[in-house]
């Protein structure tokens, strides 16, 4: 059946230049120093801009959201050797660069072969500077990190050499510290070793914590793939006040961990993270607080993200803990960039509840696996038909009969997130209408083979009961006159 519009019709109620080199990570005696994300305060440019959604600034706005149509990514024209560059405004010693791909299954390969270059020459978009790494492969919506081992530069560039392509970047994080005048200069053109890109493995892990302050502060909020940092919007993990609080993620297998980043709470209480330790190892006892230390957080600003270079430390468990009496721990995101340790004995982990739904989660949503089991007794993903195809919803224009409040915009239902928590702005929500509806305009006529619908998970699962799915070419009354 040829179709143009998709409508979800709710009958009963709404769903409520010079190049330098240093061979060591930053250290303070025994432990790694923290390095902030300096890309956020930089000025970005690109070789061209495909459309107004794809401004260069979208790739260094401090957000890991990755839907191009919501102005969350940079996007060039299809051209030979496209590039994106951030001017850091001063010379920095750069320890890692992380790149986030677009969350659209059709286009993930566009970033294959992209190079990360660092130096002080802005000519040709910085594409002549020394190379830190090459992206051989990256999944849709995935963030991968490269250890740049203290390369020095004012400009960081991502470019696709040797072919005509669109360059799409949803975030570039650059972690570094101001460069000193004693750094060793590297000869122009001398190549750096290209390290393997390490993905953020925390998003596929299982998190726990020593206690929970209230319903807003579940441990999984710190591995939801978002750098948003408002605790009251269910974006952070938070413990009660206690002795030696901890938060831990189980990576399910032993990994070589190269970089760990921590994002602090943004709405208040920045000082609570002071003195926190980052530990990596294979012991889960006491929340992993007996494992070796990678780094210590002396202090952080509200909403700040700091990176710690862990130089391939081995471990299955990554812990953030604060030693001492009467402490509370609040963290809004932990990214763990690592690779499976080929020399370690990898034990098969028993599947958790999240994996029950794995076959129903399209590829672009793998970043959000750990969000999918939130209140899973109320959450269900429904397959209307099992044929494979491209998710067209990302390209569409959504609308609804009314909007309940600022959290419930229509486009939240096609934002690529499998989060089912309304207060995190990942669900659509109408007012209490007579015959409320939500509609998606695909902008062209398509054969639709399959539909997935995800219900709200934090409450009110019964509100969707009796909803009808209608498909057709008429936009009248929100498409509610189209065939069921």
Radius of gyration of the chain (CA): 23
Q: How far from 81 is each of 135, 140, 279, 303, 350, CA to CA, in Å?
A: 15, 22, 41, 35, 45
CA distance 433 to 400: 11
Q: Report yes or no on 122 lying in a domain.
A: yes
Same domain for 385 and 418, yes or no, is yes
Position 185 pLDDT exceeds 50 = no
Cα four-point dihedral sign 417, 421, 426, 430: positive
Domain boundary among 197, 227, 245: 197
Phi/psi of residue 348, nearest 5 degrees: -70, 125
Same domain for 43 and 163, yes or no, is yes
Same domain for 322 and 412, yes or no, is no
Strands (E), 322-410: 330-331, 333-340, 381-383, 397-400
CA distance 188 to 139: 33
Same domain for 118 and 206, yes or no, is no
CATH number of the domain that residue 112 is part of: 2.60.120.260
CA distance 372 to 418: 6
Q: Which two tokens stand for residue 339?
A: 């690779």
- The pLDDT assigned to 365 comes to 32
pLDDT in tens, 152-182: 999 999 999 999 999 999 999 999 999 875 4
- The pLDDT assigned to 416 comes to 66
Q: Report yes or no on 484 lying in a domain.
A: no
Domain boundary among 164, 197, 230: 197
Average pLDDT on 325-350 reads: 76
- Other CB atoms within a 10 A radius of the CB of residue 328 amount to 17
Maximum average pLDDT range among 176-185, 300-309, 467-476: 300-309
Domain boundary among 197, 229, 255: 197
pLDDT in tens, 75-116: 999 999 999 999 999 999 999 999 999 987 668 889 999 999
Question: Which range marks the domain in which residue 227 is found?
Answer: 201-349
- Other CB atoms within a 10 A radius of the CB of residue 188 amount to 13
Same domain for 50 and 184, yes or no, is yes
Q: Report yes or no on 442 lying in a domain.
A: yes
More confident residue, 413 or 252: 252
Average pLDDT on 216-239 reads: 93
Same domain for 274 and 290, yes or no, is yes
Strand partners, 362: none
CA distance 155 to 257: 26
- The pLDDT assigned to 50 comes to 93
Same domain for 181 and 208, yes or no, is no
Same domain for 211 and 344, yes or no, is yes
Same domain for 420 and 285, yes or no, is no
Position 260 pLDDT exceeds 70 = yes
**Total number of domains constituting the chain:** 3
Same domain for 258 and 319, yes or no, is yes
More confident residue, 393 or 175: 175
Same domain for 344 and 397, yes or no, is no
pLDDT in tens, 1-56: 444 444 443 333 332 333 333 333 454 445 667 899 999 999 999 999 998 889 99
pTM over 0.75? The answer is: no
Same domain for 344 and 368, yes or no, is no
């Amino acid at each position: 059946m040829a179709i143009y519009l998709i409508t979800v019709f709710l009958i009963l109620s709404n769903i409520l230049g010079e190049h330098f080199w240093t061979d060591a990570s930053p250290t303070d005696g025994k432990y790694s120093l923290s390095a902030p994300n300096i890309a956020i305060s930089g000025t970005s440019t690109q070789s061209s801009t495909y459309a107004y959604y794809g401004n260069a600034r979208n790739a260094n706005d401090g957000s890991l959201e990755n839907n191009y149509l919501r102005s969350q990514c940079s996007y060039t024209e299809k051209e030979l050797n496209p590039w994106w560059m951030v001017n850091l405004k001063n010379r920095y010693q750069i320890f890692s660069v992380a790149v986030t791909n677009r969350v659209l299954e059709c286009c993930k390969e566009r970033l294959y072969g992209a190079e990360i270059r660092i130096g002080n020459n802005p000519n040709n978009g910085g594409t002549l500077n020394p190379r830190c790494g090459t992206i051989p492969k990256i999944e849709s919506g995935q963030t991968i990190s490269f250890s740049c081992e203290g390369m020095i530069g004012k400009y960081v560039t991502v470019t696709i050499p040797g072919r005509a392509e669109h360059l799409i970047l949803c975030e570039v994080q650059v972690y570094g510290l101001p460069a000193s005048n004693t750094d060793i200069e590297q000869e122009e053109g001398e190549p750096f070793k290209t390290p393997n890109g390490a993905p953020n493995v925390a998003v596929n892990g299982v998190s726990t914590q020593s206690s929970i302050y209230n319903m807003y502060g579940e441990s999984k909020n710190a591995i939801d793939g978002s750098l948003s940092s408002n605790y009251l919007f269910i974006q952070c993990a938070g413990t009660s006040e206690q002795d030696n609080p901890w938060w831990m993620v189980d990576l399910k297998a032993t990994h070589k961990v190269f970089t760990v980043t921590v994002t602090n709470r943004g709405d208040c209480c920045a000082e609570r993270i002071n003195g926190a330790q980052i530990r990596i190892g294979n012991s889960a006892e006491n929340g992993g607080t007996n494992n070796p230390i990678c780094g210590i957080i002396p202090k952080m600003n509200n909403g700040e993200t700091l990176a710690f270079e862990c130089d391939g430390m081995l471990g299955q468990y990554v812990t953030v803990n604060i030693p001492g009496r009467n402490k509370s721990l609040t963290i809004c995101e932990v990214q763990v960039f690592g690779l499976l340790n080929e020399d370690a004995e990898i034990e098969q982990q028993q599947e958790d509840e999240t994996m029950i739904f794995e076959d129903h989660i399209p590829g672009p949503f793998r970043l959000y696996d750990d969000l999918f089991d939130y209140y899973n007794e109320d959450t269900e993903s429904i397959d209307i038909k099992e044929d494979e195809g491209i998710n067209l919803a990302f390209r569409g224009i959504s609308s609804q009969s009314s909007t309940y409040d600022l959290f419930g915009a229509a486009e939240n239902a096609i934002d690529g997130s499998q989060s089912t928590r309304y207060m995190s702005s990942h669900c659509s929500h109408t007012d209490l209408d007579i015959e409320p509806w939500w509609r998606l305009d695909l902008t062209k006529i398509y054969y639709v083979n399959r539909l997935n619908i995800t219900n709200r998970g934090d409450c009110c699962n019964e509100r969707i009961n009796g909803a009808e799915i209608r498909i057709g070419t008429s936009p009248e009354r929100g498409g509610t006159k189209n065939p069921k």
